[in-house]
Chain A
Amino acid sequence: MTVDFISGVDVAPSLDDRVDAATERTAFAAVVVQIKQAFPPAFPSQRVSRERLHQIDRVFFGPFFREKYGMGGDRALENDRIRYYGLIEPANDGGELAGRRYVHEFDTMTGCTRGWHETVDRAGNVRQVRPERNDGTTRHYQFDSNGRYRGGW
């Protein structure tokens, strides 16, 4: 593990507070190590890729949502949103449907959230979506195994 200098950050101690500054430098180095572990370094002139921004978003917002909604995993989308997937609650009816899970979506730009229940088949395809509507009513939207919309009620 290495600790690199970060340009533009001055950690040189003055003559009066050399001991305190040494302590600060140690703490500072520890923080840098933590950040470097979370986000691998990029050159200052390099534009941060969208993939890397998504990675940062997932790490940053994870503690807020992963425990509550993301036990089944999470995924950063191209539109700056992160989806958190709950575990699949099984439906043991012997049919093609495996069960349902709750999906929670967080918009990192606006802070808005929304959620819905997905019913998935045994092949892992989403076959039904039940969003939460603003008026408090629920509606089911069904899809076939190829993802084509079949209708709703």
Chain B
Amino acid sequence: MHVDIETVRRVFEGVLSGAISREQADRWAYAVVRQEETDVVTYSPARERERIWASVMYLYGVDTMKAPGEYLHSDNDISEAMNAKLGEVAYNKAAMPLLVSAPVAVATLSL
């Protein structure tokens, strides 16, 4: 599986815009965590691995509720988390290192 930082950002933005439900974001992140446990996950840019992982771990469980039908996190919480975890990442496709081997799978989110 391959996870890139722009995909993670799109999941965050999708949740905030309502294009992606929190449950979908949670299951997407869960799939990454499961894959990380059982197989190899590559991250790009590789130097941002820690930020990407922290973001995935935030999205995993983002649908946690404090009462039936009432999410624990507000949109403002999620927005702040996105900025804290991804905000200052200088993403430059031209500078992104090439992957040596072809990824087995790409972490995508199907709607």
With known contacts A91-B74, A92-B77, A132–B53 Cβ distance under 8 A:
no
Question: Is A89 an interface position by the 8 A CB rule?
Answer: yes
Q: Is the CB of B66 within 8 A of A119?
A: yes
Which one of B5-13, B55-63, B94-102 contacts A? Answer: B55-63
Q: Is the CB of A140 within 8 A of B65?
A: yes
Cβ of A143 to closest chain B Cβ, rounded Å: 13
Question: Is B20 an interface position by the 8 A CB rule?
Answer: no
Write the chain A residue with the least CB distance to B36: A68
Of B63, B64, B68, the residue contacting A153 (CB under 8 A) is: B68
Chain A stretch 68-110: residues in CB contact (< 8 A) with chain B: 68, 86, 89-93, 95, 97, 99-100, 102
Q: List the B side residues contacting A90 at CB < 8 Å.
A: 77
Write the chain B residue with the least CB distance to A69: B57
Q: Give the size range of A's interface with the partner.
A: 20 to 34
Question: Is A36 an interface position by the 8 A CB rule?
Answer: no
Question: Is B81 an interface position by the 8 A CB rule?
Answer: yes
Chain B stretch 63-85: residues in CB contact (< 8 A) with chain A: 63-66, 68, 72-74, 76-77, 80-81
Q: List the B side residues contacting A68 at CB < 8 Å.
A: 36, 53
Q: Render A111-153 as a binary contact track against B, CB cut-off 8 A, 1 for contact.
A: 0010101010000000010101000101010000000000001
Question: Is B30 an interface position by the 8 A CB rule?
Answer: yes
With known contacts A97-B66, A100-B64, A119–B72 Cβ distance under 8 A:
yes
Q: List the B side residues contacting A100 at CB < 8 Å.
A: 61, 64, 72-73
Interface residues of B (CB under 8 A from A): 26-27, 30, 33, 36-37, 53, 57-58, 60-61, 63-66, 68, 72-74, 76-77, 80-81
A-B contacts, 23 of them at CB < 8 A, read: A89-B58, A89-B73, A89-B81, A90-B77, A91-B66, A91-B72, A91-B73, A92-B74, A92-B76, A92-B77, A93-B66, A93-B72, A97-B72, A99-B72, A100-B64, A100-B72, A102-B60, A115-B33, A119-B66, A128-B66, A136-B27, A138-B63, A153-B68
Interface residues of A (CB under 8 A from B): 68, 86, 89-93, 95, 97, 99-100, 102, 113, 115, 117, 119, 128, 130, 132, 136, 138, 140, 153
